Amino acid sequence: MRVHKLTIAAMALAAGLSLTACQNDDDGTDRGAAPPAASAASSTGGSGSTGSDQQGGRDADGKSPAGTGGGDGTTATGGSGGSGSGENGKAAKCRTDELEITAIDATVGGDDRGTVAVDLKNGGGRDCSLAGHAGVDLKTDSGTLSAERTGEPAPSVVLKDGERITFGITYPINDSGGSGVRITGLVVTPPDETKSVTLDWPGGATLPVTDGSGTPVQVGPLGSAGQGG
């Protein structure tokens, strides 16, 4: 009888342990499941957001954390926003009427080419952007001559009100001894604009007469001066 009672007690203890283990397994499964609310919150975050809370790049108080943003807008370098900003916070492009355009002779003695430096100053009262090459045409007594690009990369820049940027025009010096082609004016069109400004030509009075195989008139990118660099 003593052996029989011990056997029954052992079986009861084993059954109790097995039931406790099953209950622990069930509790573990419930704790490991992601709460439905957390799943819904993570699915609303923008693709460009960072951080643990991805709801449009904002924190728990609804504010945008530093260094993140819910949209794809980027503030242009040097831009102050405000009335001078265009779409997505970028500075709007510079208009011809906002720019004070001047040109001076910048030829260095001993160079085999002449140089004219063209200065673009932002006088529009707001930040504005420039990207690409300016258009340059020389008026001559034989017609209009369009300058070729040097082929250098053209930067994108933002000019604050009152700031300026310069680019260079290079041209062949007339040392042929002949009368050459007389230059009567300089026409400058800012990048991405159609309105031009006509200036007095400050460089050499004439270009050599060639059959098209000589040194061309060239315009450098924004920020260049002299020899396209």
pLDDT tens digit string along 133-183? Answer: 999 999 999 999 999 999 999 889 999 999 999 999 999 999 888 889 999
Contact 158, 129 (CB under 8 A): yes
Does pLDDT of 42 surpass 90? no
pLDDT of the residue at 66: 36
The C-alpha atoms of residue 122 and residue 60 are separated, in whole angstroms, by 42
The C-alpha atoms of residue 18 and residue 140 are separated, in whole angstroms, by 103
β-pairing, 113-122 with 99-105? antiparallel
